[in-house]
Amino acid sequence: MTIQDESKIRHDLLTPVNQIIGYSEMLVEDINKDGRTQYLADLKKITQAGRNLTEQINQLFKLSEVKTDTVPNTSPIPTEIINPENSVNDLTGKILIVDDIEENRDILSRRLKKRGYLYEIAENGKIALNKLTQEKFDLVLLDITMPEIDGYTVLQTMKADKVLRNIPVIIISAITEIDSIVRCIEMGAEDYLPKPFNATLLYARVQACLEKKRLLEQEKNYLSERLQTEATLERHRSLAQMVAGVAHEINTPLGVINTAATILDSRVNNKDISNLFSDNKEALEDIMEATDLIKRNITRAHNLVQNFKKISVNQTADIKESVNILDTIKESIELFKINARQANLEIIVQDNVKQSRAWLGYPGYLTQIIINFLTNIERYAYPNNKGGKVIIDLADQQQNNQAYFVITVTDFGQGISSENVAKIFDPFFTTGRMQGGSGLGLAIVHNLITSVLEGSIKVHSEMGKGTSFYITLPNNLS
């Protein structure tokens, strides 16, 4: 008889014994719950007899025993058992039970159900793989010895798949040879439990696997968000450097053109020169109009270049100092009061700070940000000076033991479409090109808040209802 034959016979003998032990233990739990303790002594004898028979089968085939906590549980059944339904279980998860024997699946499913876990069952390896590709599972309890596709093949297939490989697997089998256990662990199994399994150990290892998976997913999400944030910042930095360089180069020819236009303007306005056009005043008017057009557009181009330079926050200078952040916001609004009066804007400041208003930061940048918001509201939220209300709310909050200020700028104007909300912080994106918008205002704001002020910015908007910007700034910059 080969080793494989002996292993199969031993597995077939142990399977019904394991079922006897499993059902006896669950009956003990139910009896303790219902208070019918008169049956405990007999159930204890049945359970112990099953464990004795398990030991005799192991001795008969002289198989290698697994040490420490993976040996079959031969300890006497306690007369008082804590009901698993009353045990603490903070983790939830969907578990796939894979076993070809109905009684084994039943015992495991009832155990898991008492602990509040969701579960699915698979009668063989083929069904298990189909379920794994169609549904999302957090853990697999896998038997080794199954017809058609055994547990080894299921495990190997899972670990070869880029999605399924991240699902932890606990092997639960009557096969306890050292080589088999080592093989499963080497193939990627998270843990191993022999049959008959210890219920307490089962719960502990299921919860440990789910907790480990949760922490890994949390870490992965954190790294993904961090990489995305860093990539966005790097994109803005690279663009800022490029824009600053281009702006510098454009300034030189603009200066030459401005000088030429100034000379031309002085010439055509000279009386001696204008007399030369006495017979053709229309030509003189065309020259004067063209000169004026050149000068006006040079001014516009110069202003645009200045905005280009501002987007590179490394090119601007400001002083870090400790200020009252509420006063800084009010001073910023004061600088905008003439525009606000002309645009019929009612600007309301709400102070909801519960702690100190002291802010160590760059007040110059914050002023630029506030004025930029108000300019956008004047231009897009309430166009054509139709006027409206603007609320600037200042509050404070704690995050991860660090103090933050939250500035909310809200208007009740036209709003921004959901399609455009996702783009508003992109440089050069604007819906107001015909209104003189350069598409740089909110890009500058985003860059200042995230790169210089070490904060974050979010936006919420609904068409016809208005827009809110939420700025979070640390109380003290590093």
Regarding whether 380 and 417 lie in a shared domain, the answer is yes
DSSP annotation of 379 reads I
Q: Which amino acid is at 444?
A: I
Q: Which amino acid is at 249?
A: E
Regarding whether 338 and 310 lie in a shared domain, the answer is no
Instruction: Give the pTM.
Output: 0.40
Q: Of the ranges 271-275, 298-302, 346-350, 430-434, which is most confident?
A: 346-350
Q: Does an H or E element contain 54, and which? A: helix 40-61
Residue 377 lies in a domain: yes
Residues 78/29, Cβ–Cβ less than 8 Å: no
Regarding whether 437 and 393 lie in a shared domain, the answer is yes
Residue 216 lies in a domain: no
Among the candidates 197, 216, 251, a domain finishes at 197
Which residues are bridge partners to 193 per DSSP? 172
Regarding whether 423 and 346 lie in a shared domain, the answer is yes
Distance between CA atoms of 49 and 223, rounded to whole angstroms? 53
Average pLDDT, the chain: 78
Q: What is the CATH number of the domain that holds 452?
A: 3.30.565.10
User: φ and ψ at 413, to 5 degrees?
Assistant: -95, -140
Residue 231 lies in a domain: no
Tokens 């809200």 -> residue: 410
Residue 210 lies in a domain: no
Regarding whether 34 and 171 lie in a shared domain, the answer is yes
Q: What share of the chain is helix, strand, coil (3-state, %, to 5)?
A: 60, 15, 25
Long-range contacts at 1-6 (CB < 8 A, ≥ 24 apart): 6/61, 6/63
Tokens representing 459 are 């936006």
Domain extent for 285: 238-315
Q: Does an H or E element contain 475, and which? A: none
Regarding whether 149 and 65 lie in a shared domain, the answer is yes
Q: Of the ranges 119-128, 213-222, 316-325, which is most confident?
A: 119-128
Regarding whether 262 and 406 lie in a shared domain, the answer is no
Taking Cα atoms as reference points, which of 5, 118, 116, 7 lies closest to residue 58?
A: 7
The confidence score (pLDDT) of residue 288 equals 83
Among the candidates 147, 173, 197, a domain finishes at 197
Average pLDDT for 437-458: 82
Q: Which amino acid is at 346?
A: E
Burial class (CB in 10 A: 0-12, 13-18, 19+), 390: buried
Q: Reply yes or no on whether the pLDDT at 87 is more than 90.
A: no
Residue 214 lies in a domain: no
Which residues are bridge partners to 474 per DSSP? 404
Taking Cα atoms as reference points, which of 168, 154, 144, 29 lies closest to residue 93?
A: 168
Regarding whether 163 and 61 lie in a shared domain, the answer is yes
Distance between CA atoms of 446 and 165, rounded to whole angstroms? 39
Distance between CA atoms of 118 and 431, rounded to whole angstroms? 50
Q: How many CA atoms lie within 13 A of 173 on its CB side?
A: 28
Taking Cα atoms as reference points, which of 160, 177, 158, 153 lies closest to residue 169?
A: 158
Among the candidates 283, 315, 347, a domain finishes at 315
Regarding whether 330 and 190 lie in a shared domain, the answer is no
Average pLDDT for 104-126: 88
Percent of the chain whose pLDDT exceeds 70: 72
Taking Cα atoms as reference points, which of 173, 125, 176 lies closest to residue 150?
A: 125
Q: What is the CATH number of the domain that holds 164?
A: 3.40.50.2300
Four-residue CA torsion sign, 81, 83, 84, 87? negative
Tokens representing 21 are 């032990």
Taking Cα atoms as reference points, which of 126, 142, 10, 31 lies closest to residue 81?
A: 31
Residue 300 lies in a domain: yes
Distance between CA atoms of 161 and 170, rounded to whole angstroms? 17
Regarding whether 328 and 459 lie in a shared domain, the answer is yes
Residue 269 lies in a domain: yes
Regarding whether 292 and 161 lie in a shared domain, the answer is no
Tokens representing 294 are 């050149």
| Strand, helix or coil for residue 405 | strand
Q: Which amino acid is at 140?
A: V
Q: How many CA atoms lie within 13 A of 341 on its CB side?
A: 4
Alpha helix (H) residue ranges in 343-382: 363-376
Q: Cα-Cα-Cα-Cα dihedral of 67, 70, 74, 80, to 10°?
A: 130
Residue 228 lies in a domain: no
Distance between CA atoms of 160 and 347, rounded to whole angstroms? 61
Regarding whether 379 and 310 lie in a shared domain, the answer is no
Q: Cα-Cα-Cα-Cα dihedral of 470, 471, 475, 478, to 10°?
A: 150
Q: Please, which pLDDT band fits residue 349 given cuts at 50, 70 and 90?
A: very high
Distances (CA, A) of 335 to 127, 206, 431: 71, 63, 26
Average pLDDT for 97-108: 87
The span from the first CA to the last CA of the chain, in angstroms, equals 74
Per-residue pLDDT tens over the stretch 142-197 = 988 888 888 899 999 999 998 898 899 998 876 656 677 788 888 888 888 877 67
Residues 280/274, Cβ–Cβ less than 8 Å: no
Residues 442/416, Cβ–Cβ less than 8 Å: no
The confidence score (pLDDT) of residue 300 equals 76
Q: Of the ranges 162-166, 349-353, 384-388, 423-427, which is most confident?
A: 349-353
Q: What is the number of domains present in the chain?
A: 3
* Integer-rounded Cα radius of gyration of the chain: 38
The length of the chain, given as a count of residues: 478
